[in-house]
């Protein structure tokens, strides 16, 4: 199987997942009447805007009402509000894909727009930035410590890592975030309570970066503490399994230096499954990011999610569910590509 074909199949199956989610959500919001509410909200927004616009042109209130009523009727049929939900399902799916879901109820974007698409697109980079930082730190950490531990199974460090990973699996990330704020922001006062920049943010680019890094410390620490345990543990188990293979024994028998055996023979083989677990762990990152952003008021889409729930903003929640699924699917695809590059066996299977 060629490289292109493998990736196409992967891509198509992920695309299929995305569409499953879309249809599932559309059916649910259709059957529960939520889609009616979302469309009605869009309708009343448009009608209001139209009335304001027309009020300057038409002075006769009778005629104005007539024009507005006409416009409303046209909009109802164009939005599909006069048809049952299952008939307008395709258009609803299209609406979600293009994030054309009207205005957010209370949240406003940094530039002042309250269109859902604007708000989400503006916040997305912040979330991606946080997640990528954590991903990189965690990957390096787990590779460094996991391999080290695997070479000495049963040692003190090994036992500690096992215990740590068990405890961190049971640790709610968002609670850890609160504790870190309590300790480092409230009591010791060396880190900020939350946010991405100080108010007002520094104008000088250098200080701006430093300010960002300062605000990044606690969220990243939280996510690394919460997630690195299981990663190190997984890395360790994979490396140990590989270390028991015959070709490793053979390499040692040849008298190769231990370092060479470790990095050329063991880690090289162990890397792809480690990467697989990185892919699988992504769901947890996303989960962790939503809640961690909330606690640290990091202005990403996780915090936006929380705000949407708090203000019972159905359209925004729908849009965010889609966006999160999209990010997840894209990230998985990128990692699949990486996987194929790292492990040639996948290509030629």
Partner 1 sequence: MSSYLKESWAEFWAGGISKLGVIFLLTVVVISIYTLLNFPLDYGTRYWNNPKYWADNPKASMPVWVNLFTAQKFLNHFSMSTRIPSKAFLSGGHYLKFYNVSYELTVNQFPTFITIKLEDVVYYRKAPSVKVIVQRPDGRVMELYTLIVESPVPGEKPPYVRYSDEPKKIILSGNTYVAMVLSKFLAREYKISVAPSDIMDVGYEAVIFGYPGDDGKFKPLKGIYNLSVVLYAKDGKDKIGRVTFVVGGQVYGLMGTDTLGRDLAQGLLFGFPVALLIGFTTSFLTTLIGASLGIVGGYMGGKIDDLIQRVSDVVNNLPQLPLLIFLTFIFGGKLWIIVAVLIAFGWPNLVIVVRSMILQIKSSPFVEAAVSIGASKWRIMARHIFPQVAPYILSQMIFYTPSAILSEAALSFLGLGDPSIPTWGQILEYGFDNGAVYLGYWWWILPPGLLIVFSAVTFVLIALGLEPVVNPRLRRWR
DSSP three-state, residue 103: strand
Q: How far apart are CA 144 and CA 229, in angstroms?
A: 13
**Interface pick for partner 1 out of 22, 324, 336, 339 (rule CB under 8 A):** 324
| 329 forms part of the interface with partner 1 (CB under 8 A) | yes
- Tell me, residue by residue from 17 to 56, as one string, x for binding to partner 1 by CB under 8 A and - for no binding: x--xx---x--xx--x-x----------------------
> Which residues make beta-bridge pairs with 115?
103
Q: Are 336 and 317 in contact (CB under 8 A)?
A: no
Total residues contacting partner 1 by CB under 8 A comes to: 52
Question: Exposure string (b/e) for 317-349, b if CB count within 10 Å is 16 or more?
Answer: bbbbbbbbbebbbebbbebbeebbeebeebeee
Q: How far apart are CA 43 and CA 41, in angstroms?
A: 5
Question: Where does this chain touch partner 1 (CB under 8 A) — which range of 111-119, 128-136, 291-299, 341-349?
Answer: 291-299
| 87 forms part of the interface with partner 1 (CB under 8 A) | no
Instruction: Report the nearest approach of partner 1 to the CB of residue 102 (Å).
Output: 17
Taking phi over 0 as left and psi of -120 to 50 as alpha, with beta for the rest, 54 belongs to alpha
151: Cα within 13 Å, side-chain hemisphere: 13
CA angle 277, 279, 283 (to 5 degrees): 105
Nearer to partner 1 by C-beta: 60 or 246?
246
**Which residues, including other chains, have CB under 8 Å from residue 290's CB and lie 6 or more apart?**
302, 305, 306, 324
Nearer to partner 1 by C-beta: 55 or 334?
334
| 325 forms part of the interface with partner 1 (CB under 8 A) | yes
| 79 forms part of the interface with partner 1 (CB under 8 A) | no
Question: Where does this chain touch partner 1 (CB under 8 A) — which range of 36-44, 114-122, 124-132, 164-172?
Answer: 164-172
Nearer to partner 1 by C-beta: 209 or 280?
280
Question: Where does this chain touch partner 1 (CB under 8 A) — which range of 36-44, 172-180, 205-213, 248-256?
Answer: 172-180
Question: What's phi and psi for 15, nearest 5 deg?
Answer: -60, -40
Question: Where does this chain touch partner 1 (CB under 8 A) — which range of 94-102, 119-127, 186-194, 259-267?
Answer: 186-194
Instruction: Report the nearest approach of partner 1 to the CB of residue 217 (Å).
Output: 17
- Distances from the Cα of 220 to the Cαs of 128, 202, 232, 275, in angstroms? 13, 21, 17, 20
- Which residues are near partner 1 by CB under 8 A? 13-14, 16-17, 20-21, 25, 28-29, 32, 34, 153-154, 162, 166-167, 169-172, 174-176, 178-179, 181-182, 186-187, 193, 240, 283, 286-287, 290-291, 294-295, 305-306, 309-310, 314, 317-318, 320-321, 324-325, 328-329, 332
């Amino acid at each position: 199987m060629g490289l292109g074909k493998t990736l196409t199949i992967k891509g198509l199956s992920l695309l299929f997942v995305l569409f499953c989610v879309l249809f599932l959500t559309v059916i649910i919001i259709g059957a529960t009447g939520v889609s009616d509410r979302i469309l009605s909200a869009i309708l009343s927004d448009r009608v209001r805007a139209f009335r304001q616009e027309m009020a300057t042109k038409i002075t006769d209130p009778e005629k104005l009402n007539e024009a507005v009523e006409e416009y409303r009727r046209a909009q109802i049929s164009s939005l599909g509000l006069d048809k049952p939900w299952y008939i307008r399902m395709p258009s609803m799916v299209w609406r979600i894909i293009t994030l054309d879901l009207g205005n957010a109820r209370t949240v406003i974007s940094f530039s002042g727009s309250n269109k859902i698409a604007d708000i989400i697109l503006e916040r997305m980079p912040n979330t991606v930035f946080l997640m990528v930082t954590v991903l990189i730190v965690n990957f390096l950490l787990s590779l460094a410590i996991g391999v080290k531990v695997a070479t000495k199974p049963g040692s003190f460090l090994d036992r500690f890592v096992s215990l740590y990973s068990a405890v961190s699996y049971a640790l709610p990330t968002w609670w850890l975030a609160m504790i870190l704020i309590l300790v480092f922001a409230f009591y010791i006062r060396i880190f900020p309570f939350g946010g991405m920049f100080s108010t007002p943010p520094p104008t000088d680019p250098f200080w701006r970066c430093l300010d960002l890094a300062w605000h990044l410390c606690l969220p990243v620490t939280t996510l690394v503490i919460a997630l690195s345990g299981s990663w190190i543990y997984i890395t360790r188990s994979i490396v140990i399994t590989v270390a028991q293979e015959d070709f490793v024994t053979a390499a040692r028998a040849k008298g190769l230096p231990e370092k060479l055996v470790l990095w050329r023979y063991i880690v090289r083989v162990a890397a792809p499954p480690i990467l697989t677990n990185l892919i699988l762990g992504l769901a947890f990152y996303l989960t962790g990011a939503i809640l961690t952003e909330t606690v640290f008021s990091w202005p990403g889409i996780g915090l936006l999610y929380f705000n949407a729930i708090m203000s019972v903003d159905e359209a925004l929640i729908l849009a965010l569910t889609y966006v999160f699924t999209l990010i997840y699917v894209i990230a998985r695809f990128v990692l699949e590509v990486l996987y194929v590059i790292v492990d040639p066996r996948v290509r030629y299977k």
